[in-house]
Structure 1
Amino acid sequence: MENRDHLLEYSIPQLLRWRVKTSGNKTALREKDFGRWIPYTWNEYYDYTRRASLGLKEIGFGRQDKIALICDNIPEVLFVAIGAQAAGGISAGIYQTTLPDEIAQIIDYLEISVVFCSDQEQVDKVLEIRERIPNVKRVIYEDPRGMRGYRSDKWFMSIDDLYALGDRAHQNDPGCFETMVDEGSADEVCHLCLTSGTTGLPKGAMMTHRNYINMGLRLTEVDPLEPTDEYVSFLPFAWIGEQMNSFGVAMATGIAINFPESVETAMADLKEIGPHFMFGAPRIYETIRSQIWLKIDESYRFNKLCYNFFMKIGEKAAHYRMTGRSKPQVLGVLSWLGSVLMFRPLVNQIGLSRLRRAYTGGAALGPELFTFYQAIGVNLKQIYGQTEITGIAYVHRDGGVHPETVGKPLPGTECMISDQGEILSRSASVTKGYYKAPEKTAELIEPDGWLHSGDAGYINENGHLVVIDRVSDVMHNSRGEMFSPMFLENRLKFSPYIKEAVIFGNQQDYVSALINIDPIVVGKWAEDRGISFSTFMDLSAKPEVADLVYREIARINGNAEQAHFRIHRFAILYKLLDVDDGELTKTGKIRRQFVREKYRDLYEALYDASVSEKQVEAFYQYQDGQTATVKTKLAFYTMEQTS
């Protein structure tokens, strides 16, 4: 394989220019708009970046200035971000779901001077907090719909006007942009990536050009990509998971990035592209699996019998494939037959027929889900990392997919387990630290470069890293026996009927759980059995649904190797855990302590065997900030003791 380490000396704008010289007329980006895919070559990519960069310079944006990006996944987010970086500035992504109050805090903390929004919805959030963000000079928007009334206010500016400014600046000084690009350095901070904020306001990790490019090179050293390969961008750009692909992998390999028409059409648009590699949080794969199960459930009885038969065959074959062993001849023939007759058409329906590798990260995934995807022919692999090491530091190799591990370190990445059992990593992808937080940076990174993960783990006999849980989340019951709540939550979530679970039991006599049912799968299950319901709250309270969940937990308890891993009490929550209610982070991780405090009365009832039912007030906070309160009854269930 060609050595591309010379690319590590480039900044991202310099690498973009290098791509223009090597493959300028090749498609770099593709966007679906009004049902039509619009391509951008590397030449056009660079031209739009130049226009955005010079336009930003004309409105006073310069070196070390910061621009916030509150956008859907569109090509313009890259034009503006890399344009800002070319001007010596720093970009920063903010999740589109973030509420105005938090946006104000983030903008103030990061010292943002320009904000780029994709549409009126995001512009209105910034407008609401205008008096609290006096340092913001301009708000630039991409979609002009609904923005006519804002045109007279010079605080707002369309991206077309920004481009026009850039064009005039280029005409006046044709060499200015190239000079700015030349002045860039690989080790300069180019982006402030917000952490997931499980314990409060997110921190801004200072990421360099080299961080992103190194990660892209090292990942594709393990799993090579062709310049003709396709990637679909549907993860939030504010998440390191999307940045590492857009800034790192795409720039390092020259693959094409495809932007869906909207969040709602992302999965349908994915089918049209047929990507060659895919990265997503566990929830993406859990949702796809639920959709597959629904398709099978709605199918004819013969199809169900065939599916169940070939799934058992596929699971057996998957264990051989994941570990790189040759399958017995009979199993090989049967698995091939199952692939041709059942799984290949099924995978084609969800748009993954060209997929060579799929990655999941951001949270742990149950071993059963890996086996499921490998059984249907999707090469799903676990990655492990954190924002502060550019997303990926460990990955499964082909033929070495062990679901209970997160794989081996990427080339150039070192791993060490501290005396306290914490995972430490070191590589060229490690952040420079947290913005305006030197004391937090000192806690994060050792003087010799070792990065603290905050996760407990160990390296097994095969050299694979095994992640147990967050060091702070590992629990001990009242008898001092240790258990991982995350492990139990993942076991529960493999059930098609359980969407989310929160495990409790620290310093208690037993393990308990708050359960979120999957509204789609359980809703279909209820309809098939003639069980009527009106809302999610109503469905969650049905005794038949409780019996269903009881059986699922009993099955999981039956597979528990040790008694203290068994769930003794549970309740089905009347609402889905939600980002807007503060129960989940932007990347879908449970904010465990927050959930425990918010539902303290439920938590206490789980540990009071005399309580079988409780009157509660359900509090909701919607995305627009409005709130509502509804009264309901919640039932508590105790599992039968098993030996």
Structure 2
Amino acid sequence: MQTTFPQLLLEHAKSRPDAAAMREKEYGIWQTTTWAAMARLVEHLACGLHQAGLRRGEHMVVIGANRPRLYATMLAAQSLGAIPVPLYQDAVGGECVFPINNADVRFAVVEDQEQVDKMLDIRAECPQLSHIYFDDPRGLRKYDEPGLSAMAELIAAGQAFAQLHPQLFREQVALCQPGDVAAMFFTSGTTGKPKGVVHTHNTLIDRGAVGAKFDKLTPNDEVLAYLPPAWIGQNIFSYAQWLVAGYVVNCPESSATVSIDLNEVGPTYYFAPPRVFEGLLTTVMIRMEDAGWIKRKMFQYFMGVAQRVGPTRMDGKPLSMLDSVLYALGNVLVYGPLRNTLGFNRVRVAYTAGEAIGPDLFSFYRSIGINLKQLYGSTETAVFVCLQPDTQARADTVGVPCEGVEIKLSESGEILVKSPGLLKEYYKNPEATAEVLTADGWYHTSDAGFIDASGHLKIIDRVKDVGRIKGGAFDAAMFAPKYVENKLKFFAYIKEAVAYGDQREKVCVMLNIDMEAVGNWAERRNLPYAGYTDLAQKPEVYDLIRDCVEKVNADLSRDELLAGSQISRFLVLHKELDADDGELTRTNKVRRGFIAEKYEVLVDALYSDKTEQYIETQVKFEDGRTGSVSATLRVDNAKIFAPVKAAA
């Protein structure tokens, strides 16, 4: 599809001007922006930015949640040949310094007072940052800073400029070419400085179009945009595919109202990382534990039916008459109301990506009639590398290669990809570009995996993370930490897990409990606690978590390749892992190496005979203050099971 994002916008505005393009919930009421109104807004913003001095090839950062005017600003920048760079709205100011300086950014468009304060705080470190525009004026009336102004003023100035120069906007759009740079996304910086991933209109639109064609997306589809626009996954689903397919993107009022807004919108096309699906399931399980005896028994019985026949039904395979009747009854009494409660009653296609999802979690959603599928891709591949057909969704694979994609494996088992959606380069980093892109166009994913007999790609783990047990009963056995962590996180009581074992004689893990789920569990047992740290170290909680760990071990013992990854010892951390403390990336991926260094004393305790260990940790609060959390953590053992031999 040889076009650009602004040209796609103008096509929608011409062919269906009065159709809804975006909706935003404000003060509890959904406000609609039509395609014609969006095009006018983009024109006025583009003219305003042009008048302010934004030029072709220049970068402009956009920081905020999903808001129609922020999306319009990205389109306005692209209309002028400038390059929007979305940054995470929950990143602290210091995390924005490198991207802004690396890309020589003069223009920043932000959502609200919080983001304005962030930009003003780092201005001394980013002296070239001369223009800051804000969307939401609340709390900013008395701010008097050079170069700071409201987006409303920018739009008004642009509107006046457009009246004097009515051809400028379309002339600028016509100058944009499909091969021009469209956007830059910074990686999460798991192992060092973030890298700016450069994508063209071609790469993003091509992959958006391939995904839309695969899942038969139409203008009638609805999406809820609630994840950070700086994450390319959200950007593809609510920006690239929005402009390709022309469906409606709905922006929730705030992060606190997402579940309510999800129910009100009833999206037909849904995308979330596993963590979101884990959280939804945790909420369901908490509600069921609080339900009456009859409801609990009915839920348990029909969920048993769903787990037995639901995935088979979703795969389009025939069921027996009895199973069909039982499932239909379960749909009336349990699955339908459950889908409705979750906000998934209209979902036609749901995807999860970002990291592997636990097989039990995956099966749960498909068993109750939600067409949850996995996809495989990354920032560098414009997301879409592999997709699962509706009737071939499996928990242990990530699907078949998308249209235009080639996959091969290196001698070490690393997955190499050739695709029209590959990055152009890492910005100002030719060495890093050369490391991942071969001269003949193959991209090194750093993921280990293989193509199975049915043509589906199976991911084991990151190449650098796949290790071996050294010594002990499982000497030389494979160790896949992410696989172990995901199995643990299926349990509602476990929010996060960090596994270690490479070149060691056993596997040990550090865990975070899910405060909501474990707190609810404790309250029903009249178990008093004074916050997360206290609850996490209760002997009763350790018994609860040990039961989860041993269930994972029993499951791993039945896997010939990964029986050696069973967990010998574990502890529950005294604080929740947090991106602000450097323990998670902004996409909530565990920074395993950083955590090992930060909590070296705990890792040593796990691999010794200690039964407890004192730790004091500095933490950063949301308002920027720092403090410390200390506790004596219990270190516990878990039962290891003998490997189950496969039947001959």
> Taking structure 1 as the reference length, what is the TM-score of the superposition?
0.97
**Displacement of 1:220:** 1.7
Give 1:471's aligned amino acid: V
CA contact under 8 A between 1:97 and 1:623: conserved in structure 2?
A: no
What runs of 5+ residues in structure 2 fail to find an aligned partner?
643-648
Q: In the alignment, which residue of structure 2 is the partner of 1:87? A: 80
Any conservation in 1 of the 2:574–2:630 contact (CA below 8 Å)? no
Match of 1:436 among 416, 419, 428: 428
Distance, in Å, in 2 between the alignment partners of 1:269 and 1:642 is: 45
Aligned counterpart for 1:555 among listed residues 541, 546, 551: 551
Contact 2:24 2:67 (8 Å CA) reproduced:
yes
Q: What corresponds to 1:317 in structure 2?
A: 309
Distance 1:641 1:428, change over 3 A: closer
Counterpart in the other structure of 1:185: 177
Q: Do the aligned residues in 1 keep the contact of 2:2 with 2:202 (CA within 8 Å)?
A: yes
Q: Deviations over 1:78-98 (max 9, x none)?
A: 111110010110000110111
Out of 114, 135, 149, the position equivalent to 2:142 is: 149
Deviation at 1:641, TM superposition (A): 4.1
**Alignment match of 1:467 (pick from 459, 466, 486):** 459
Pair 1:487 & 2:483 matched: yes
Cα displacement string for residues 268-297 of structure 1 (whole angstroms, at most 9, x for unaligned residues): 111111000100111110011111111211
Determine if the alignment matches structure 1 residue 60 to structure 2 residue 59.
no
Q: Distance in 1 between matches of 2:103 and 2:310?
A: 47
- 1:233 has 2:225 as partner: yes
Distance apart, 1:404 and its partner CA: 0.3
Separation in 2, partners of 1:207, 1:573: 39
2:617 maps to: 618
Residue pairs, 1:240-255, within 5 angstroms: 240-255=232-247
Matching residue within 96, 101, 114 for 1:103: 96
TM-superposed CA distance for 1:318, in Å, is 2.4
Q: Which residue of 2 aligns with 1:594?
A: 594
**Distance in 1 between the 2:528 and 2:221 partners?**
47
Residues in 2 aligned to 1:448 and 1:465: alpha-carbon distance in whole angstroms: 22
Q: Is 1:49 aligned with 2:42? A: yes
The amino acid across from 1:33 in the alignment is E
Contact 1:423 1:456 in 2 (8 A): yes
Q: 2:28 aligns with which of 35, 40, 48?
A: 35
- Alpha-carbon distance change, 412 to 641 in structure 1, aligned in 2, over 3 angstroms: closer
Report the CA distance between 1:226 and its aligned residue: 2.3
Count of residue correspondences: 634
- My pick for the range that moved more, 632-641 or 615-624, is 615-624
Give the superposition deviation at 1:35.
Answer: 0.9
Regions of 4+ moved over 6 Å: none
Residue 70 (str. 1) matches residue 63 (str. 2): yes
Question: CA-to-partner distance for each residue in 1:373-397, whole Å, 9 max, x for gaps?
Answer: 0112211111110001112211111
Tell me the equivalent position of 1:570.
Answer: 570
The DSSP-based 3-state class of the residue aligned with 1:37 is strand
Amino acid at match of 2:44: R
Q: Measure the CA separation in 2 of the matches of 1:227 and 1:52.
A: 25
User: One-letter code of the match for 1:522?
Assistant: V
The match for 1:5 is: none
2: CA distance, partners of 1:502 / 1:413: 33
Deviation for aligned residue 1:619: 2.3
Measured in 2, the distance between the counterparts of 1:426 and 1:193 equals 20
Kept in 2, the 8 Å contact 1:323–1:402? The answer is no
Q: String of CA shifts for 1:439-496, please: whole Å, max 9, x gaps.
A: 1111111122211111000000000000000011111111322221011111111111
1:288-338: CA deviations, max 9, x gaps?
A: 111111121111111110111000110111231344322222112111110
**In structure 2, what is the equivalent of residue 349 of structure 1?**
341
Q: How does 1:522-561 map to 2 (within 5 A)?
A: 522-560=518-556, 561=558
Q: Is the 8 A contact 2:618 2:626 kept in 1?
A: yes
Could you tell me which residue of structure 2 aligns to residue 627 of structure 1? Answer: 626
Whether the 8 Å CA contact 1:618–1:632 is kept in 2: the answer is no
Moved more, 537-546 or 204-213: 204-213
Shift of 1:200: 2.0
**Compared with structure 1, are the counterparts of its residues 641 and 453 closer, same or farther at alpha carbon in structure 2 (3 Å cutoff)?**
closer
Partner of 1:9: helix, strand, or coil? coil
**Aligned pair in 2 of structure 1 residues 171, 641: CA closer, same or farther (>3 Å)?**
closer
Query: In the alignment, residue 257 of structure 1 is paired with which amino acid?
Result: V
Q: Is the 8 A contact 2:307 2:363 kept in 1?
A: yes
Matched residue type, 2:564: H
Corresponding residue number in structure 1 for 2:201? 209
| Distance in structure 2 (CA, Å) of the matches to 1:598 and 1:42 | 50
Letter in 2 for 1:587: T
2:321 maps to 329
Contact 1:516-1:577 at 8 Å conserved across structures: yes
Cα distance in 1 for partners of 2:288, 2:79 equals: 51
SS of the residue corresponding to residue 629 of structure 1 reads: strand
Q: Distance in 2 between matches of 1:93 and 1:402?
A: 33
SS in 2 for 1:160: helix
Match of 1:338 among 330, 339, 346: 330
After superposition, the C-alpha distances for 1:59-101 in whole angstroms (9 at most, x for unaligned) are 1101011110111211011111110010110000110111111
Query: Which residue does the alignment assign to 2:495?
Result: 499
1:53 deviation in Å?
0.6
SS of 1:587's equivalent in the other structure is: coil
Say if 1:315 and 1:372, in contact at 8 Å, map to a contact too: yes
Partner SS, residue 586 of structure 2: coil
Q: What is the rounded CA distance, in whole Å, between the counterparts of 2:76 and 2:522 in structure 1?
A: 52
TM-score under structure 2 normalisation? 0.96
Checking the alignment, whether the CA contact within 8 Å between 1:99 and 1:624 is kept in structure 2 is: no
Q: Distance in 2 between matches of 1:317 and 1:110?
A: 53
CA contact 1:49–1:82 (8 Å) conserved in 2:
yes
- The residue aligned with 2:405 is 413
Equivalent in the alignment of 2:603? 603
Structure 1: runs of 5 or more not aligned? 1-7
Cα shift readout 1:90-126 (whole Å, capped 9, x = no counterpart)? 0001101111112112210121110011001110011
Q: Distance in 1 between matches of 2:639 and 2:587?
A: 35
1:488-529 Cα offsets, whole Å, 9 max, x none, are: 111111111111111001111100100111111111111111
- Helix, strand or coil: the match of 1:586? coil
- The question of whether the paired residues in 1 share the 8 Å contact of 2:550 and 2:640 is answered with no
CA RMSD of aligned residues (A): 1.1
Q: 1:385·1:392 contact (CA, 8 Å) conserved in 2?
A: yes
Q: Structure 1: how far apart are the matches of 2:191 and 2:122?
A: 24
CA offset at residue 19 of structure 1? 1.1
Partner residue of 1:119 out of 107, 112, 123: 112
1:3 maps to what in 2?
Answer: none
Deviation at 1:555, TM superposition (A): 1.4
1:153 Cα offset (Å): 3.0
CA distance in 2, matches of 1:570, 1:538: 17
Q: Please give the alpha-carbon distance, in whole angstroms, between the structure 2 residues aligned to 1:624 and 1:473.
A: 35
